[in-house]
Amino acid sequence: MTWGIYESTSFGSYLPDGEYVGYDEGLKHYYYEVMSDADKEPFENSGGKHIDYSAYVTKKFTKEPGYIKDGLPPAGPVLDHEAPKEFRLAKKPSKGLSAMMQLGYRAVSEELKTAIEALEPGVHDFWPVRITLPKGEEWPELYYTIRFGRYLECFQPDESDEGSWEHPSEFAYYVNFPESKLCSGLAMSRSVIGSAHLWKERLLGAPEMCMSDEMAAAFKKAGFTGSKLYKLKDVP
């Protein structure tokens, strides 16, 4: 069975209110004080300078490796200074934090990171990010920013149930409302999935993150809350 995450857009355990500490300032400092003139050239030519550099770094975390757009360089490896080091919560969470969270970049708990690496060793990349409370106190569990290393085209619109998806652009399909009856009609090709356990869909924008039964069980065991996992429709 294939599962998909339909991400919450409301503040809560999956989408906590807060911001990265010193992250934008660090990227700006690197651009103006450390980066070589040769490495700056693509961003100088685009006119946005450090703003375009920051947008380029974001693509490293949110798009497929090698992604190219707007004349910027391909999304290559994440450098150490490009990974955020601290996310400060706006308030203490009353219901805890989810094992995976959306912090602008997605992050996973140490327990979930261990489970992901056990099922898919060497596929995905992780960087530690401290979670702190409004006054700077440390959250007791360490989290890790995740860069997905697997992108697939499993979604089969022609084999999906009628009305289960929308197609608002030439690039992506969507389920507009997170309902079991809609998500269960999205057809996912088992022959394309193969032995994959966790991946992003190239053509399906929501749900975008998909996983196997084994990975879904690991998510639930680690304490995935605040968003829902939906069963999708497997086809050959």
- What is the per-residue pLDDT for 206? 81
Q: pLDDT tens, 83-126?
A: 999 999 999 998 899 999 999 999 999 999 999 999 999 999 99
Structural domain range at position 77? 22-81
Does one domain contain both 162 and 230? yes
DSSP 129-188: EEEE-TTSPBPSS-EEEEE---EE--B-GGGSPTTS-B--SSS-EE-SS--HHHHTT-EE
Same domain, yes or no, for 76 and 41? yes
Task: With respect to residue 15, please indicate whether it lies within any of the assigned structural domains.
Answer: no
What pLDDT shows up at residue 121?
A: 98
Work out whether the CA dihedral 223, 225, 227, 228 comes out positive or negative. Answer: positive
Residues 180 and 157 in one domain: yes
Choose one of 123, 147, 171: the last residue of a domain: 147
Q: How many domains does the chain have?
A: 3
pLDDT value of position 183? 80
Considering the domain architecture, whether residues 88 and 143 belong to the same structural domain is answered as yes
Amino acid (one-letter) located at 62: T
Position 136 in a domain: yes
The answer as to whether 163 is a domain residue is yes
Has residue 134 been placed in a domain? Answer: yes
Quick one: 170 and 229 in the same domain?
yes
- Per-residue pLDDT at 87: 98
**Token pair for 190:** 């088992």
Report whether pLDDT(203) > 90: no
Each residue of 44-78: pLDDT tens digit?
A: 776 668 888 998 999 999 999 888 877 788 999 99
At 126 the pLDDT is 97
- Quick one: 59 and 72 in the same domain? yes
* Residue 177 in domain: yes
Cα–chain center distance at 151:
12
> In this structure, are 175 and 226 located in the same domain?
yes
Report the predicted TM-score, pTM, of the whole model to 2 decimal places: 0.91
Of 81, 97, 116, which one is at a domain's C-terminal end? 81
Give residue 166's pLDDT band: very low, low, confident or very high (50, 70, 90): confident
Q: Is residue 16 domain-resident?
A: no
Question: Are residue 196 and residue 142 in the same domain, yes or no?
Answer: no
> Is 17 contained in some domain?
no
